[in-house]
Amino acid sequence: MRNERWLNAGLAATSALTGLFLINWAIIIASNNNYQKNGFPRQLLTLMDPVARWSYPDINQKNKSKVSENVYLVGDSYAEGSGDSFLENEYHYSIGHYLHEAIPERIQLHLAANSGSDLPKQLDLLNKYLQGDLSPLSRHQSEEAPNNFILFFYEGNDLENVAISKKLAFHQPIKAFLRKNAPIFHAINLIATNAKQTATSLFRNSASDSNTTKSYTNEVCIGNQNQCRTLPPMQSASAGLSQIQMDSAITYTAKEIDRFKSKHKQSSYCFIYIPSPATIYEPNTFFYENYFGSTPLKTSGKLNSEKSSLMRSELKREIVRLGIPFYDATDTLKTLADKKFIHGQIDPSHFNADGYKILAKFAATSCKLN
């Protein structure tokens, strides 16, 4: 009887391990073939490792014989395409899609961007990808055409992400091996994290009195106050960073860009600066997203504008010193935002279709893609 129990336990464990192995292998196959075609349920993308999400619907399906130039879009969620269009499963949802429509057929677009990241982390991942070091999670095939890199910097949290952690991925051998060969752990961890956050949120909502809950919303109006929206705490020009922290994060970012550039000397580079919603809409006062605490804090639009101007000036100096042209999209986006909202209603932290269209046009012209 006892031996039979051990046998049943062994069979159950073997079946479970076999199932996990098959699911893991299916995720690896999907990671290398998720072209996100029209109708693809993009919410499932989050279950894949960030590197495995570097693909667009049909964009990578060009006739290779006609391609004479590869352009990599590097950055965070803005470069990846987060926003209302993404959430609603629309076919065109990102800078890449609008660029794809505007550029010559000889240019092949590639994505190297992920939500919640920053340029140093993305460039480190991209370097490993280009060297073929991320297999089997993501299999890169060397391209014969020369590479060009468009670096998208987002004012809203790129420097905060650097200040919070300068830790780069795939630098610990055991973790790197598991991440590349066992992406199922990413999916399991994400599901568990989301379940925990949902349970915590439900508990807080049931335990709190809605009448005593403090509101941190912002009233933002445009077009001579004719159009107004109530927005959650806004991303800003690093309102939560001190001058020393900001300077340190800028210096580190420039150093990592230079390190990547030294490994890809024959490539060309272009740097695009994306302002935050607080800089674009310029509310008199607003609650900003606080990355160093749970409670949003308040600042003035004047202070935010001054800090944004200083950040752009310091970044431009560092980027130009590296021999990379610096293009600031702030004025272009603010001009459009004087007439209409260019951020989503579902996702007010990211651009809507109008915002991504104008940014794509700005990038195409500035980086001479058309």
Q: What is the pLDDT of residue 212?
A: 44
Element (H, E) at 310: helix 301-321
Gap between the Cα atoms of 86 and 30, Å rounded: 19
- Residue 218: pLDDT over 70: yes
The average confidence (pLDDT) of the chain is: 86
pLDDT band at 29 (very low <50, low <70, confident <90, very high): confident
Spatial contact of 7 and 28, defined as CB atoms under 8 Å apart: no
pTM for this prediction:
0.89
* Closest listed residue to residue 271, CA positions, set 324, 313, 218: 324
Q: What is the pLDDT of residue 293?
A: 85
Could you give the percent of the chain with pLDDT greater than 70? 86
pLDDT band at 62 (very low <50, low <70, confident <90, very high): low
Q: In the Cβ-directed half-sphere of 126, how many Cα atoms lie within 13 Å?
A: 31
pLDDT per position as a tens digit, 262-294: 999 999 999 999 999 999 999 999 999 999 988
pLDDT per position as a tens digit, 170-210: 788 888 888 888 888 888 888 888 787 777 667 655 555 44
